Amino acid sequence: MDSPFGLLAELTYSCPLSCPYCSNPLNLAGYRDELTTAEWQRVLTDAQELGVLQCHLSGGEPLLRRDLVQIVNSANELGLYTNLVTSALGLSRRRAEQLRAAGLDHVQISIQADEPVDSDRIAGTPSFERKIEAARVVKELGWPLTVNVVLHRQNIDKVAEILGLAEELEADRLELANTQYYGWAWRNRDALLPSTAQLERAETVVRAARLRLEGRMDVIYVLPDYYSRYPKPCMGGWGKRQLTVAPNGDVLPCPAAQALPLPRASVRENSLAWIWADSPLFRRFRGTDWMPDPCRSCDRREIDFGGCRCQAFQLTGDAARTDPVCHLSPDHGIVTEAVQAANEGERPDDGALVPRPHRGRAV
C-alpha cells in the first residue's frame, strides 16, 4: 500500500451552475452538514502527515465557502501544493488577490463551450463572460492556468474553437475530458454520449494542436470510456494514490464512490490514517485479490485494476464485476448497446438535458 499522493477536498456541493454532466451525487440534500473551518484544517493536517503533497479544492463551487482563504492559508502553511478547481463565478480581483496572498498555487477554470450562447446554455446560467474575465485575472496575477472543458455530444464538434479560446487566454494547460457517466451525467447519457464520427474528428484536431502548441500549452485529451478497448485504472488503483473528502466529511477512494453499497467512512468518526489504511471501504477493492475472472487471470490486472468500480456498479448493480467497458467483460454488451444508440443517424446533437439543480448561497 502506497501513501496517498493527492487529496480532493470537496468543500461544498453548492454551486451556481447546473451542468448536466456534473459528477456530484444526485442526493445533494444529504451533504448540507458541511465540515467547519476547523474540521477542514484538521483534515489537511492529517492528510499532510499521511504523505499527501497535492490538495485540489473543489466542489460544487469552492468559492462559495466564506472560509476558503483560511483553508488555502492552512494548506500552504503545511507545505501542500494547492489547486483551486472552480467555475470562476465569484473569482473577483479582490478575492483572487486574497487567495494569492494566502498561497494558492494554481487555478483550474471550467468552461462549457467556446462562445457565450452554448456555454451559458450548458452551464444553465449566464456565466461565460465572467469566466473569461476571471481567467484573465488569473494570468495577470501570475498563476498557472488550466482550462477544463468537459466534452460531450453537444460541444465536441467545436473542439478547434475551444483550443483557440484556450490559446487566446494563454492557458498553460487545457484539459479536454470526455464526460464520465456518473451522477447527473448518467441521467443525461443519451444526450451527451458522442458518436464515433464526432470522436474521430475531435482526435484529428487535438493531435494537430498538440504538435502546434508543443512547448506553449499542454493539451490533455481524455478518451471516453465507452469507446475504449480496455478500462481506465480507477484513480490509479482503488485506495492506492488518491482520496476524496466530501463536504460532510465522508472519505472516498474516488469522487463517485458515494453511490456504492459499502461501509461509510468519515473524518468525524475516525482518523484519516485509519480510514486510509484499515477501513473496510478502502480495503474492499485495494490490490487484486478481490478480482473475479476474467480480471483475476488477466495480464492487465496490475495495469487497470479491473477498471472503475463505480462504473461496474452503475451498469451491472455489482461493484465487484469487471468494468463492462472492457471488451473481455461478460457484460460488455451493455456498453456496446449504448454506443450503437449514440451512432443512430437520427439522433440529434442538441437533445434536451436534465440540469443539475442549483443549490447554493449567493456568490
Above 90 in pLDDT, residue 350?
Answer: no
pLDDT at 236: 84
pTM of the model: 0.93
15 annotated as ligand-binding: yes
Cell of 178: 470526455
234 annotated as ligand-binding: no
Count of helices and strands (H, E) across the chain: 14, 9
* Residue matched to cell numbers 498557472: 144
| Distance of alpha carbon 203 from alpha carbon 248, whole angstroms | 39
User: Residues 6 or more apart from 146 whose CB is under 8 A from it?
Assistant: 83, 106, 107, 108, 109, 171, 172, 173, 174, 175
One-letter identity of residue 6: G
Domain segments of the chain as ranges: 6-227, 234-329
In contact, 287 and 306? CB cutoff 8 Å:
no
Which residues on adjacent β-strands are paired with residue 89?
Answer: none
In contact, 288 and 302? CB cutoff 8 Å:
yes
Condensed to tens digits (0 to 9), the pLDDT of residues 275-324 reads 999 999 999 999 999 999 999 999 999 999 999 999 999 999 999 999 99
Condensed to tens digits (0 to 9), the pLDDT of residues 164-175 reads 999 999 999 999
In contact, 54 and 83? CB cutoff 8 Å:
yes
DSSP collapsed to 3 states, 67-124: CHHHHHHHHHHCCCEEEEEECCCCCCHHHHHHHHHHCCCEEEEECCCCCHHHHHHHHC
Above 70 in pLDDT, residue 348?
Answer: no
Question: In terms of CATH architecture, what is 6-227?
Answer: Alpha-Beta Barrel (3.20)
One-letter identity of residue 64: L
Q: Please count the other Cβ atoms lying within 10 Å of the Cβ belonging to residue 270.
A: 14
183: pLDDT confidence band, cut at 50, 70 and 90? Answer: confident
Longest pairwise C-alpha distance within the chain = 57
